[in-house]
A = this chain, B = another copy of it.
Amino acid sequence: MPESQTNLSWDVLLDLSGPAGARHERLAGALRSAVRDGVLPVGTALPPSRKLATDLGCSRWLVTQAYGQLVAEGYLEARTGAATRVSWSPGRDERRPPAARVAAPVPRYDLAPGVPDLRAFPRRRWADALRDVLTTMPHTEFGVPPLGGHPRLRAVVAEYLRRCRGASAAPRDVTICAGVTEGVTRVCRALAARGVTAVAVEDPSWGRTRQAVAAAGLTVVPVPVDEDGVRVDLLGGTRAVVVTPAHQFPTGTVLAPARRAALVAWARDVDGLVLEDDYDAEFRYDRRPVGTVQGMAPAHVALFGSVSKTLSPALGIGWHVLPPAWTESYQAANPAAATPSVVDQLALAAFIDQGGYDRHLRAVRLRYRSRRDALVAALATHLPDSRTTGVAAGLHLLLHLGGAVDTGALVRRAAAEGLRLVDLAAYRSTPPEEPALVLGYGNLADNAVLPAVALLASLL
């Protein structure tokens, strides 16, 4: 009876062997125990009575009787036109304390940085791309996925990075992975295998970057950032550094030309590795984005990118371009590293290759620019004593509040009012000289800009 095997538990679970007579009692008892023991948790749909009767080799009457009894006892719940479901929660679940509620209340206005406009996700076009792939991909592509990513996406990403980011990338140097954090961790594992114990990270920086370095067992060494970007002259003693040259996070500065040259010279001097996080280079509003440092020194720079800021972090697709000399250490340190779904990889490859990605970027760039303009204008009106920097690019800006503001207290007061703010201090190893907030506007609804700023002003 292979048809009954998937719900294999029904006839094993509901053991009706034993003396004949009152079989519906025994069925009810077995069901009751299963619910009591938590084997059938609240909400579980029971099979239609006709189906269960076939599986158990008994009459349908017997099943409806048993269901009826348990409905009367409060174990099950029957609704016309829907499956009969378990409605009782066993005491056993209470033996362990209930899980802590991790879900914080959703703020009315969320100004935390790092998230793109989630309303702008191209749902229909992404679904179309997925369906196209699922309709046309050869069945062999459903097999064990190629390590390092699907060759099609590697080629498309390599071309994209050459064309749009001035990178030097051959498909074989591109690895597809879950995102920048995952990629940095993997490259750091290769660094660790080569004897590197510490990695310099810009200060301030994105917390996940520091986490990614630490996850590989390496020590994070903070390196200051000034108005020209990372202080290359203070890198002495390390052989690897994570930087955000196109748009420093969170200060928004662009690595100055002389610093770029100095960074490359440093990497060559110490035979080191620059980890270039190209995290939101696609969004620059005043002029063309600067190209990657990787394009200047592909032998000493690992380039990281993803669709997290352009499409959605929920897709879990990113890439990195490694210097060929690092390939072997990388593979040895990450021997069975996972890749995103091949279906997703092929959908993204088609989306980029057929121009959908470029069109999406063009559309959201316009949105972000006008939202940034609205935010800057509202801040100038409602907080005339404040100052904004880092507004030329990206999905956030820095709001400098002047000497007297206790930003920690402000963030807490704001949270109580449903306004989520992030203190610049949260990204720094030491408190900033001047109190400042990092205001993300990527995912702020257009009609929320004014009330959010007004609320912020009322709290100062």
Chain A residues within 8 Å of B, Cβ to Cβ: 2-3, 5-9, 11-12, 38-41, 43-44, 93, 96, 99, 106, 114-115, 118-119, 121, 123-124, 126-127, 130-131, 134-135, 139-145, 159, 162-164, 166, 170, 172, 177-179, 181-182, 185, 208, 211-212, 214-215, 282, 284-285, 288-289, 312-317, 324, 334-336, 338-344, 358-359, 361-362, 365-366, 369, 443
Contact = CB atoms under 8 A, between A and B. Distances in A.
Contact of A314 (B141, B185, B285): B141
Contacts of A177: 338
Contact of A317 (B143, B162, B282, B341): B341
Given A141-B314, A340-B340, 18 more contacts: A2-B285, A2-B366, A2-B369, A39-B162, A44-B163, A114-B144, A118-B142, A118-B143, A126-B134, A126-B343, A130-B134, A142-B314, A143-B313, A145-B313, A178-B178, A178-B338, A316-B341, A341-B344
Question: What copy number does this chain have within its complex?
Answer: 2
For the residues of A in contact with B, the DSSP-based class is helix
Nearest to A96: B324
Contact of A335 (B5, B40, B211): B211
B342 A314 contact: yes
Contacts of A162: 38-41
A159 B44 contact: yes
Contact of A316 (B38, B39, B126, B339): B339
Contact of A288 (B8, B119, B344): B8
A341 B179 CA distance: 11
